[in-house]
Amino acid sequence: MESYYDRINRQQNTQDIEDVAEFYQAIDRGHLTKKLSPERPYVYFTMEVYDKTNGIKGGGGLGVLAADTRRVAETLEIPFVCVTPFYRHEYHQGIYGLDQTESIWGVNPEEHGFEYLDDVEIYTEGMPPARLNVFQKIFSSTRFLTIGEANFGELYAGDGNGDHRLYQEVSLGFGGYAALKMVGLRPAVIQLNETATIFAAVARLDELVHNGMNLYEAIVYVRKHTLYTNHTLVQAAESEFSYDQFSRIVMPNIKSKALKTWLSGLFRDGRLKLSTLTIELAEAKNGVSRLHARVADYQDVNGDKVKFRAVTNGIDLDTWVIPEIVSVYNEKGIIDKFGLPSDDYKERLDDLKIDEIRGLRKIGREKLNQVLEHRQDQYGNPVYIPEDATVFDFKRRFVSYKRPLMPFEDISILRRILEENNAHYILTGKVHQGDTEMRTRLNQVLKLIDSDDLLRERVHYIQDYDEELGFALAAGSDIAINNPIVGLEACGTSFMKDIANLKVLISTADGGVADLSPIACLEIVGASYEAEVRSLYEQMLRAARIVKNDTWYEGQVRRQLSGYLPVISGARMMKDYLQLVFGK
């Protein structure tokens, strides 16, 4: 049986388009054939990519988004370059004695088909230059350009405001920009996936000024060609660095004196937030869902409120949806050859009948069991879910705002829901290193489960959450639970994987789910935490009844897809970005 990674590797695009010009026409942007070319591509800088098929393991949604964006560009044949570190170390989670442990595994680009190009140098005051290896991997119109060295450290290593993190960010920005020049590319636009990538725009600015452009003209030029994508809600949470750190780690990489002076002028009380710098250098700015763009509270260097546009994240359907379902979407004309929902997709969803839905869900369940067979639960054992059982799942990082343990508030109710419905509950997600509070909570819940015969049989915590598990649960569980505190999830994409795979979603009205109002799934509501917990249990009972009833289930699947298919479509996200950056 083909594994998840083999399938993704095979790059089986369901779309069949002649040429990217066709897509540009379809989105009413015919002029893009003149703006984007193989030598002048769309360039995407990101500190994180989650694409284990190509050897790059991420930490969460930001990396999944980056990997999906490149895959969608590849399918649409858009000239696109993703510039990112290749970390030689990656984190894995294990559970021993019902407690989380972390291990770091080595990895290198050559094992994953990357080609070594050359080195770039990064300068730090008082140190010999650091030599970073540039590796490339090309996939038709797109490529990864990666930078890294043996001591680069792992993703999000150390303190977010520390010297090493700044070194990683400077390396990506200046080193990545030099790598683009090395392969003869000039960006048509630079998309900054979060502010940690801002040094790419600084490097471009420095080059323009060094080549003789006046600093202020250069700033205008860079602003016009830079897009800042924000995933963080409050500016207070953004990293900041001291003037001393900048002098030692950033400035030695800048040639222009005028630029150094300008940068120095942005410091307040000896500190500079990268978000402040990013806001100065990017004209187009977006949040990653409607709600997020509305509530993101940022000020520019003068204290004026920043306006964010909304481009809700989407997913690459070929990556996250079982191929059998994608084929049905295509055959029924629910999505078009670009991966966009067709004009009449809502009517066409009426062709999706319960027998077909159940047949597809059965295939999904088999895929889930295939993956669970080589994974480990909290006791180190594989799990098998019987075909006739109903499965609930929670799969996302264990951070407090996502409230992973909410269903365990009253285990007598949870026990009853699982027992009466022949249901299982699968959880997976890593606690962040250093989050002792969540780690303690997780340990308590694992012990609670262990102390109860029924829960021990039916609640499975699967170790080391990753893409394979994310896909398997999207494909083979029945009911997904997404319950972030309203206002705190920037977008979230796992709910999209769930809906696209014909599951039932239970969610709070947050992130991308709240792009629709009212939301088009089973909603968790409540004026207090206790009320939300009650609402969650009610919706779990309701969902369990829905999946057993043909009419209700068919209706629920259609209602969710009818609302969210445009949100979910990665091609729609690409269309939105192209329209935002390049206008008419």
508: contact with ligand PLP by CB under 6 A: no
Q: Considering the complex, state which of residue 407 and residue 470 has its C-beta at the smaller distance from ligand PLP.
A: 470
Q: Name the β-bridge partners of 569.
A: 315
Separation CA 68–CA 23 (nearest Å): 18
Residue 466 near ligand PLP by CB under 6 A:
yes
Using the rule CB under 6 A, give the single segment among 79-87, 376-384, 385-393, 486-494 that binds ligand PLP.
486-494
Can you tell me which of 476, 492, 563, 570 binds ligand PLP, judged by CB under 6 A?
A: 492
Instruction: Locate 123 and state its tokens.
Output: 């300068």
Does position 61 bind ligand PLP by CB under 6 A? Answer: yes
What the block records as the tokens of 493 is: 């994409």
User: Does position 465 bind ligand PLP by CB under 6 A?
Assistant: yes
> Which residue has the CB atom at the shortest distance from ligand PLP?
470
510 binds ligand PLP (CB under 6 A): no
Q: Which is nearer to ligand PLP, 399 or 541 (CB)?
A: 399
Which part of the chain contacts ligand PLP (CB under 6 A), choosing from 9-17, 41-49, 58-66, 527-535? 58-66
Kindly indicate which of the ranges 104-112, 138-146, 336-344, 462-470 contains the residues binding ligand PLP, using the contact rule CB under 6 A. 462-470
Does 64 interact with ligand PLP (rule: CB under 6 A)?
A: yes
Single out the segment in contact with ligand PLP by CB under 6 A; choices: 60-68, 189-197, 280-288, 514-522.
Answer: 60-68
Please list the residues that pair with 135 across neighbouring strands: 116, 146
Maximum alpha-carbon separation in the chain? 74
CA terminus-to-terminus distance, the chain: 47
Contact stretch for ligand PLP (CB under 6 A) within 28-36, 167-175, 353-361, 493-501: 493-501
- The residue among 128, 46, 29 whose CA lies nearest residue 84 is 46
Footprint of ligand PLP on 357-386 (CB under 6 A): none
Task: Retrieve residue 235's tokens.
Answer: 């500016």
- Least separation in angstroms between CB 11 and ligand PLP: 18
Contact 96, 59 (CB under 8 A): no
At 312, give phi and psi (nearest 5°): -70, 140
State the alpha helices, DSSP H only, in 17-96: 20-26, 32-35, 61-76
For ligand PLP, the binding residue among 119, 467, 510, 554 (CB under 6 A) is 467
Output 320 or 338, the one with its CB closest to ligand PLP: 320
Query: What is the Cα–Cα distance from 42 to 317, expressed in whole angstroms?
Result: 21
State how far the Cα of 462 lies from the Cα of 379, in Å rounded to an integer.
Answer: 9
| 396: contact with ligand PLP by CB under 6 A | yes
Q: Does 512 bind ligand PLP (CB under 6 A)?
A: no
79 binds ligand PLP (CB under 6 A): no
Q: To the nearest 10°, report the CA torsion of 328, 478, 50, 111.
A: -80
Candidate segments 81-89, 119-127, 440-448, 465-473, binder of ligand PLP by CB under 6 A: 465-473
The nearest distance, CB 299 to ligand PLP, in angstroms, is 26
Cα angle, residue 221 at apex, residues 218 and 225 outer, rounded to 5°: 135
Pairing of strands 240-242, 271-273: antiparallel
User: Judged by CB under 6 A, how many residues of this single chain contact ligand PLP?
Assistant: 12
Give the whole-angstrom CA distance, residue 91 versus residue 213: 44
Assign 189 to helix, strand or coil.
strand
Binding site for ligand PLP (CB under 6 A): 60-61, 64, 396, 465-467, 470, 492-494, 497
